[in-house]
Every structure is written in structure tokens, then in C-alpha cells.
Amino acid sequence: MTSSTHLNPDIVVRFAPSPNGLLHLGHAYAAMVAHDFARARGGRFLLRIEDIDGGRSRPEFVRAILDDLRWLGLDWDRDVIFQSARLESYAAAADRLKAMGLLYPCFCTRSDMRQLQEDGPQPEGPDGPIYAGTCRHLDPELARKRAVTEPHSWRLDVAKAAAISGPLRWTDERHGEQSSDPERLGDVILVPKDMPAAYHLAVTLDDARDAISHVVRGDDLFASTDIHRLLQALLDLPTPTYFHHPLLLDENGGKLSKSRGSASLSVLRTAGEDGYRLVQELRAGIFPVGISLSQA
Ligand code: GLU
């Protein structure tokens, strides 16, 4: 879908949903914030479908996303981008990080992780328990041999990577200047066992490839940005400016999610509700009963 004349070619913003389920009101809000951010500055608004989770991604969810955004009146520029068409670039970047000695194979299973939790509380990071680093200490020769036959993911040795990159900073237009502290997320997985690339790797590469000037997304991804900034430094990628927006919360103060009963946009759309009006209300800060916006 193409749209109007662009006044500022330097501003490029994206909405990057994962087609793992139906969008709900929280996504409508996120899409609206990113869209309006781009339009207000005369920039481009791109739509990138983050469809590399083969186990959860479904074509019917992709179709629903496109229909929902059209229904909301949030038009995007250029063709829709699909991460599934870019797998080689993720593999190439992972190979580069491996050649730098920054990735190690991890053979830990879900039950190994559960066991660790049961053995004693694990340090908590902003996104959950931090990986204990079990496989970081494996003999590299032995790990290489095991990797030939055993399923494994690849983790970033974040302390080693941070030592190479040195101190890093990034700017958030809403939260101000940030000093990166990627170690608080631990050794994140960059190549999962059953996926061509993890979110952190794919999103960082794609934001560079799509020349995204401003990453506009929810506060739930704020902490991840420290890892993205680190990957930018390691892979010689530019650093966009960030804008992490507040999240819509339900009556219990939790993030909206389908599993907690938030109505999907498709249900509202097919029930004949007015999507354009819904967006106008979100813009005006008018939310359905019980729903509120998180504070900074
Ligand atoms: N695909 C991610 C999600 O749906 C968002 C990616 C991003 O905005 O950085 O949660």
C-alpha cells in the first residue's frame, strides 16, 4: 500500500507485529502511536511482519493483521516486509558473531531450566530469570562435538561482547539518554533451537536494513534495547533513536493480552464496529471501561 507525499525522507518508523495470534486493543494503540509519529514528522511508516517463529506464526494471523490495520485506517508505505524472506541475513550475522567467539551452543532444555529454578532462586532480569551460564563453561571442543548431534540454541556471551563494545548509549525521546547495561539480561539466545533467529537478532538487523530512524514501540521492550544496542555495536549497524510508549493496561493493571480475555480487533471488526473511530478515541486518550494507560 502506498500513500501520500513524504516530506521528510530521513524519518522512517515501523510497526512490527508477530503473527502469532490476533491483534487486540494494545496492538491498535501501538500501531497508532508509531503511525502518527511517522506522519506527524512527514516520515514513512512501514509494516514488518515478524513471522519467523515457525511453530506459532500463521498465515491467517498475517491476513488478520493487514485487515485490522486497514480497518483502523492506519495506512503503511511500500510493500509489507516479511522476516521469513530474510533468513539468510540472520544466519550470516549469527556466523559473524560465532567467528568473533561471541556465541556459544547451549544444550539446556526447558526441564534443565526448571530444575535450576527448583534448585534455588535464579537472578531475575527485567525480562525474567537470567540464564545461569551453564553451557558457557563447557569445554569448547566438547561443545562443538555435541552440537553435531544434539539440538542446541546459540547464546550471546554478553559479558565478553560488552567488553569488546565498551560502554554504549542510546537515546529514548520519551525516557531520555540511556547507558546500556546489557548484562542485566544475561546471555540471551540469538539463535533458538527451533527458529532461524531470535527476536533480538532479527529485529536489530531489520531495523538497520529498513533504515528505521525511530524505533517506536511499547515500554515492554525497553530493556531489550540494551541488547539491540550491543548488537548494533558488534555488527557495525547504525543506532536509531527510540521512543518507548506507555502500554494499555487492564483493570488489574496487567498488560492487555488475548489470553487475559482482551477482545481481538478481528472480533470488533467483523461485528461491524468502526475502526477509524476506535483509533480517534485512542488518540484522544478515551479507552474502554477498565482500560488505562501505564505511567512512565
Ligand atoms: N515483533 C515484536 C512483537 O510483536 C515487536 C518488535 C518491536 O517492535 O521491536 O512483540
d(CA 200, ligand 1 centre) in Å:
10
Q: Which of 33, 61, 217 to mutate to test the pocket of ligand 1 (most atoms within 8 A of CB)?
A: 217
Assign 256 a pLDDT band (cuts: 50, 70, 90). confident
Please state, in angstroms and rounded to a whole number, the distance separating the CA atoms of residues 222 and 45.
21
Go through the domains of the chain in sequence order and give each one's CATH number.
12-79+246-293 (3.40.50.620), 88-170+180-191 (3.90.800.10)
Q: Which of 32, 221, 258 to mutate to test the pocket of ligand 1 (most atoms within 8 A of CB)?
A: 221
Assign 4 a pLDDT band (cuts: 50, 70, 90). low
Q: Does the pLDDT of residue 250 top 70, yes or no? A: yes
Query: Catalytic site residue 145?
Result: no
Average pLDDT over residues 231-241: 98
Q: Does the pLDDT of residue 76 top 60, yes or no? A: yes
Q: Which atom of ligand 1 is nearest to the CA of 15?
A: 8
Please state, in angstroms and rounded to a whole number, the distance separating the CA atoms of residues 230 and 291.
35
Q: Does the pLDDT of residue 2 top 50, yes or no? A: no
Q: Which atom of ligand 1 is nearest to the CA of 30?
A: 8
Q: Which atom of ligand 1 is nearest to the CA of 14?
A: 8
d(CA 18, ligand 1 centre) in Å:
7
Average pLDDT over residues 87-111: 96
Instruction: Copy the grid coordinates of residue 100.
Output: 568473533
Question: 3-state SS of the chain?
Answer: CCCCCCCCCCCEEEECCCCCCCCEHHHHHHHHHHHHHHHHCCCEEEEEECCCCCCCCCHHHHHHHHHHHHHHCCCCCCCCEEHHHHHHHHHHHHHHHHHCCCEEEECCCHHHHHHHHHHCCCCEECCEECCCCHHHHCCHHHHHHHHHHCCCEEEECHHHHHHHHCCCEEEECCCEEEECCHHHHCCCEEECCCCCCCHHHHHHHHHHHCCCCEEEEEHHHCCHHHHHHHHHHHCCCCCCEEEEECCEECCCCCECCHHHCCCEHHHHHHCCCCHHHHHHHHHCCCCCCCCEECCC
d(CA 17, ligand 1 centre) in Å:
5
Please state, in angstroms and rounded to a whole number, the distance separating the CA atoms of residues 118 and 51.
33
Provide the pLDDT for residue 296.
62
Cα torsion 274, 26, 83, 236: sign: positive
Provide the pLDDT for residue 84.
97
Provide the pLDDT for residue 261.
55
Give the global pTM: 0.94
Assign 1 a pLDDT band (cuts: 50, 70, 90). very low
Work out the mean pLDDT of the chain and round it to a whole number.
Answer: 94
Average pLDDT over residues 91-108: 97
